[in-house]
Amino acid sequence: MKPITIRDPTKLSSHISTAAKNTEALIIQALDKIPDMKTLNKLHSRIISHPNLHSDTSLAIKLMRAYSACGKPDITRKVFDRMPQRNNVICNVMIRSYVNNNYYREAIMTYKNALASGVNPDHYTFPCILKACSSMTDSRLGLQIHCSAVKKLLHRALFTGNGLIAMYGKCGNLVKARQVFDEMPVKDIVSFNSMVAGYSQNGRFDEAFEVCKEMVSLGVKPNPGTMASLSPAVNNTTFENVTFVKNIFLDMPKDEIVAWNVMIAMYSNNSMSSDAINLYTQMEACGPEPDAITIASVLPPCGDLSALSLGKRIHKYVETKLSLPDLAVENALIDMYAKCGCLKDARKVFDKMIAKDVVSWTSMISAYGRSGKGREAKELFSRMRAFGIYPDSIAFVSILSACSHAGLLDEGRNYYESMTAEFKLVPRLEHFTCMVDLLGRAGRIDEAYNRIKNMPMEPNDRVWGALLSACHVYNNVDIGVIAADRLFELAPHQSGYYVLLSNIYAKAGRWKDVDLIRSIMKEKRIKKIPGVSNVEMGDRVHTFLAGDRSHPQTDEIYLELDVLLGRIKEIGYIPKVDGSLHDVEAEEKENLLVVHSEKLAIVFAMINSEPGVQIRITKNLRVCEDCHVAIKFISKVTEREIVVRDTNRYHHFENGICSCGDYW
């Protein structure tokens, strides 16, 4: 190759300078595109080998940013350490590299070292280091930074103010967060979202909604970050707030998965299961692909409505689209199958799990317990202990409840003693409720009542409700009246307790007292909650009320019901009319019992499914004694397995026998 000849030696330095500038321009162009690590390493080598580029500060900063974007703050630090002089721009890049890659402690140390070396923070430094303080919940350093920002008159700058609100909110200092928020001369969507998040994360849900509504009234348009900030506040909220969040959601682009997830979770956590499922199906049709958070949020409503077909479809999606293990999703699958009465499917998910936490074990124990399989629940509890999983308070609620549903009185007492003596757990109201229920179901009404009287805290309506339910089963009018009086004080508008006491009086034939309870309910405008039963058919959940005649197949359902009742009477079914609230003739009482919602739902399922297919019903109230007896006979004459989930437990009816052993 012919060598290059420079005719005029005086132009040599100019020639070299031009070449260096061209090389620098190409490297800058490449770095701005954030290349892959292999290309980035080559560019870095070229910079090091070129004497004119090696000392270029602007190029070094771009190199640091590129490594940071590739998730390599350690290499960013090496570039930073080789720089002979560091100003606030270089330090800011290093701090931001650490923060963006979740190295918060290192970011804080870099900030402190920069201050010690005389580098002054600016309006870029404060927001970044405040984010590190927020993530580390370091309110002490956050307060120091706030003071520094005040001295430099930067505390009211938009980005610094937003950082301060987020930091104080995360550290639980909502007074300071609100003070910063109120003093900011200019606020943007981030300001409002940060304040909403601060209130939400600290359980101040009403204030979170107030700020959000204030934002909307000022014309600031909510974004997906607003939905995320509100997320903790949407659990068990008011109908007004649900409507407000729904309106925010409807005004957002439908490609933002955060918004979908918050809406589905809100419906799920506010007992709006049908809305949650409907929204999920819309998401499948026109929204982004569901992620693990979506799935964990929609599976509980599937269980609540016994929507097994949809639950199984979601399970297939999980297996093909999501990466497992994922504890939240797998635990939700166990819970969904258990609520649908599919214990075998729940156990399959449980057994396949690579890692199980106490929630996994507790969910499976609870599933067995509520189905009356106390022995299986006990075995699983022992296995959990053998695997070194430390049972928490909720785990003991599950095993105590399992013993209660299975009539395992001595075992339940032993678990309670173990909880307090061996595991040093302080009993909570839930544990006392379980123990009262355990004793009450076993017929130890007086002992259950004495346990309530000796409780170290004030018993709530659930504790007294367990006692009243036991009094109803064992016809104990005297203690039943005492329990009811307390319940009428604690939950004066809860119709179920009035109905239970009425049933106790009715079984005792005390019709004047029944009339008195009914007049009290009328005076207080308390209406009995109607019995509602759900049954899934195809991809739709059908709902039936007691005496319902609104279904398109009503005529066919009632005709088949008459035939079915005739068949079960032939093999020994006698309607149980002694618990009716009405002081009327036996024939009229029987007619009232015939049209209970679970009977209608079962007949509908029989008409619309093949012989031998399992029928699954979910009811919003406790199954009455007559329906329980009738369904046992129906399972025998139709040779069907019928699973009914009521508010108390699961009933698996097969060949004339119920899994509860008539102990519910």
Please write the tens of the pLDDT for every residue from 77-95: 998 998 888 899 999 999 9
Q: Which residue has the higher pLDDT, 658 or 31?
A: 658
pLDDT at 83: 86
Question: b/e string for 529-554 if b means 16 or more Cβ within 10 A?
Answer: eebbbbbbeeeebbbbbbebeebeee
Mean pLDDT of all residues in 620-630: 90
Cα gap 392→380, rounded to integer Å: 15
Q: Which residue has the higher pLDDT, 326 or 593?
A: 326
Please determine, for residue 158, whether its predicted confidence score (pLDDT) is greater than 90.
yes
CB-CB contact of 573 with 593 (8 Å): no
pLDDT at 381: 97
Q: What is the DSSP letter of 11?
A: G
Quick one: how far is CA 521 from the chain centroid?
35
- The dihedral through the CA atoms of 168, 169, 172, 178 has a sign that is positive
**Average pLDDT of every residue of the chain:** 90
Cα gap 612→535, rounded to integer Å: 16
> φ, ψ for residue 122 (rounded to 5)?
-130, -165
Using one digit for the tens of pLDDT, what is the confidence trace for 373-409? 899 999 999 999 999 999 999 999 999 999 999 999 9
pLDDT at 13: 42
pLDDT at 581: 47
Output the 3-class SS for 37-50.
HHHHHHHHHHHHHC
pLDDT at 586: 46
Using one digit for the tens of pLDDT, what is the confidence trace for 105-130? 999 999 999 999 999 999 999 999 99
Using one digit for the tens of pLDDT, what is the confidence trace for 483-506? 999 999 999 988 989 988 998 998
Please determine, for residue 181, whether its predicted confidence score (pLDDT) is greater than 60.
yes
Please determine, for residue 3, whether its predicted confidence score (pLDDT) is greater than 60.
no
> φ, ψ for residue 353 (rounded to 5)?
-65, 130
